[in-house]
A and B are shown apart, each in its own frame.
Chain A
Amino acid sequence: MSILIDENTRVVVQGLTGKEGSFHARQCMVYGTRIVAGVTPGKKGQEVDGVTVYNTVREACRAHAINTSLIFVPASFAADAIVEAADAGLKVVVCITEGIPVLDMVRVLRYLDGKDCHLIGPNCPGLISPGKCKVGIMPGPIHRPGPIGVVSRSGTLTYEVVDQLTKAGLGQSTCVGIGGDPLIGSTFVDILKLFAADDDTGAVVMIGEIGGTAEEEAARYIKESFPKPVISYIAGRTAPPGKRMGHAGAIISGGQGTAAQKMETLRQHGIHVVENIGEIGMEALNAIR
């Protein structure tokens, strides 16, 4: 097993005809993902690598069995694209797009509230269940199938961690990049709940960073009801306050959201916190043994 995506995942790519969309869709197909349709308004009938393009998501869903969307449309249209995918009944919507206005996400999340739809992202690398399916932009070859669930607010830092895990002999069940924005579709807690119910996930590596309180909420959830070991790393211990560190959500404001606070809270809740990013692979191995 794995969470959210597996052999049965069938994907529509919104923004397939764009540069990013076509490139990454091809990479996903090379990995073995079934990309069954594309959507770009006004480009109905075109084909990209043998995949048919439709004008709307609903139209694509009428022609194909689809359960997942992968979104590459520009930031100014991305909120609309997310709601379009959810409204067509897709259960997993992965939005890679960076730079969506926060107030657009306020409305999107209000719309998704109570709906049976997992939004991953925005501003994220997507997710991968190694050996089965990749719905995102991460490099496939660094991953190996195995028992570790990975959940992270970052992109390349997640690749770094996965690479170390793989080299330490620890494969992954599913790796989820939840995104670096202040408002995202799935939080650490949302993904941890899925890992809790997944028999093939034996332990979780959680990569957090400065800003917000998502790590603290995860710590409380883990202590109360998460049954598996969790190893964590928090980026931004040396970040100056009041500055956005690349990610829109990575900011220490009013003394809140510091890495020190997060690490302390995680430790207090019995979570193994790794200080040196260079040692996370080996520390994970030791912690799980």
Chain B
Amino acid sequence: MKLHEYQAKVLFAREGVPVPPGEVAASPEEAGAVADKLGHGPFIVKAQVHAGGRGKGGGIKIAEDRDAVVEKASKIIGMNLVTPQTGPQGRLVHRVLVERAFSIEKEYYLAITIDRTTARPVILASAAGGMEIEEIVQSKPHLLITEAIDPVLGLMPYQMRSFFYQLNMEPALGSSFSSLLSGLYQVFTKYDCSLVEVNPLVVTKDKKIFALDAKVDVDDNARFRHKDILEWREYENTWEEEAARYRLNYIRLDGTVGMMVNGAGMAMATMDAIDLAGARPANFLDVGGGANAEAVANGFRLILSDERVKLVLINIFGGILRCDVLAEGVINAVSELEVKVPIVVRLEGTNKEKGTELLAQSDLNFTVARDMKEVTSVIANSGLADRARKGIKREALAKLSVIPE
């Protein structure tokens, strides 16, 4: 779960990490009120969206005085911010963070994350602040300083000193740097973060250290112990919000084949199979490895509410869950809804024959694919394939037994 910069800074402040004075605003008037509260300028007005590169898209502006804050805020709030990370569709900006701006002497990069290979938290720092971490890794790997943290010991003082000396900070900044770093590690562990990133960390002309930007991802698995943070959850679109209500794993994609699969790996493999057939999936939907008929019905409703979907593919490997029970779930869901698009069903596993028979006997119009190969062939012949078919042989197409109208 991604937090906005202003939310991350709330956590920072709670743990004693210095952040610039500022507050979030949802309207130009509110932004003006924040400027009044902060007193004198200059100010900085920052769009609050879940994407980096905001400056490049015009989402971060300097404002000399209160009037300029109101003016900039009115331009940013409501804009569709396009950055290198949002994709071409951009993100609608609902709020801005208004902060006092500082004269900056030096910028640094600092981040805490989990290293999957060593299974430990790792702190990364660099004197090349302001650059994206990927750039630093690629172009200046020698400037990247890392320390792995033993979860039993926590962040040790020698590790903080090691960063401080390697970053070549002025001696007078020693104590404020260590309190900032230990505060960030505290945020990381206390709030179950998968990422805490400060880019840039700055030293101002008057020798103060601030976390100028803040990016925090909270581990979704740990939400049960952070009920307060959960209230900050924002979904990227209403489809994903609805899916979350039904506890379905749903991700909206840009194709025309709506798909419903049980199990995440199988769902990814099905997306890949649709792509191999020359078409594109409209969504990723995993109804769970042990999905029941109700989950299937909810998933089906979700897919059909998407007007871009021109064909629905249901791919279920029934293991513990029997195929006949699943077939009943699908039939019930379909009979309740008005279905205008072809439905391709592939059932495999326990009681497959019985499930297939139930589908065939229903008065609903299903196309049954017997295996993954046939799924690919059916999609390739559905009229939705708009690209060259990769890896599907002519013979396979000729042998095809079921082709939807």
Contact = CB atoms under 8 A, between A and B. Distances in A.
B71 to A, nearest CB: 33
A157 B225 contact: no
Given A103-B192, A159-B317, A180 B265 contact: yes
B266 interface: yes
A71 B249 CA distance: 24
Contact of B221 (A101, A163, A238, A242): A101
A153 B224 contact: no
B75 interface: no
Nearest to B226: A101
Contacts of B281: 238
Contact of B152 (A110, A240, A244): A110
A137 B320 contact: yes
Contact of B268 (A23, A217, A250): A250
B349 A139 contact: yes
Contacts of A229: none
A212 B222 contact: no
Contacts of B251: 240, 243, 245
B34 to A, nearest CB: 31
A238 B119 contact: no
Given A102-B194, A110-B150, A246-B286, A236 B268 contact: yes
B372 interface: yes
A278 B221 contact: no
Contacts of A110: 119-120, 150-152
A89 interface: no
B271 interface: yes
Task: Output the residue of A154, A160, A250 with the most chain B CB within 10 A.
Answer: A160
B70 to A, nearest CB: 34
Nearest to A157: B265
Nearest to B253: A240
Interface stretch (B11-19, B272-280, B300-308, B324-332): B272-280
A225 interface: no
A50 B371 CA distance: 40
A268 interface: no
A242 B289 CA distance: 23
A245 B264 contact: yes
A156 B263 contact: yes
A106 B221 contact: no
Contacts of A248: 220-221
B290 interface: yes
Interface in B137-184: 150-152
A156 B373 contact: no
Nearest to B289: A155
B265 A154 contact: yes
A51 interface: no
A255 interface: yes
A160 B269 contact: yes
A274 to B, nearest CB: 10
A214 B117 CA distance: 8
A244 B374 CA distance: 28
A210 to B, nearest CB: 7
A139 B319 contact: yes
B276 A276 contact: yes
B116 interface: yes
A27 B225 CA distance: 33
Interface string B365-379: 000000111111000
A103 B152 contact: no
B273 A278 contact: yes
A237 interface: yes
Given A240-B253, A276-B391, A213 B117 contact: yes
Contacts of B152: 107, 110
Nearest to B50: A242
B284 A245 contact: yes
Contacts of A255: 134
A235 B249 contact: no
Nearest to A74: B224
Task: Output the residue of A153, A207, A242 with the most chain B CB within 10 A.
Answer: A242
Given A27-B320, A156-B319, A160-B269, A139 B350 contact: yes
B269 A157 contact: yes
A102 B219 contact: yes
A110 to B, nearest CB: 5
Contacts of B221: 75, 99-102, 248
B265 A103 contact: no
Task: Output the residue of B116, B271, B273, B390 with the most chain A CB within 10 A.
Answer: B116
A117 to B, nearest CB: 15
Contacts of B350: 139, 141
A163 B219 contact: no
Contact of B272 (A103, A152, A217, A235): A235
Contacts of A212: 116-117
B346 to A, nearest CB: 10
A142 B90 CA distance: 46
A237 B349 contact: no
Given A110-B150, A110-B152, 14 more contacts: A103-B114, A106-B151, A137-B319, A160-B269, A182-B116, A183-B114, A212-B116, A213-B116, A238-B275, A242-B85, A243-B251, A243-B284, A246-B286, A278-B373
Interface of A: 23-24, 27, 75-76, 99-103, 105-107, 109-110, 125, 137-139, 141-142, 152-160, 163-164, 180, 182-183, 207, 209-210, 212-214, 217, 233, 235-240, 242-250, 254-255, 259, 275-279
17 contacts: A101-B225, A107-B151, A110-B119, A153-B265, A155-B265, A155-B266, A159-B317, A164-B371, A207-B265, A212-B117, A239-B271, A245-B251, A246-B267, A246-B286, A275-B276, A277-B372, A278-B374
Interface of B: 85, 114, 116-117, 119-121, 133-134, 150-152, 189, 192, 194, 219-222, 224-225, 249, 251, 253, 261-269, 271-276, 280-281, 284, 286, 289-290, 317-320, 348-350, 371-376, 390-391
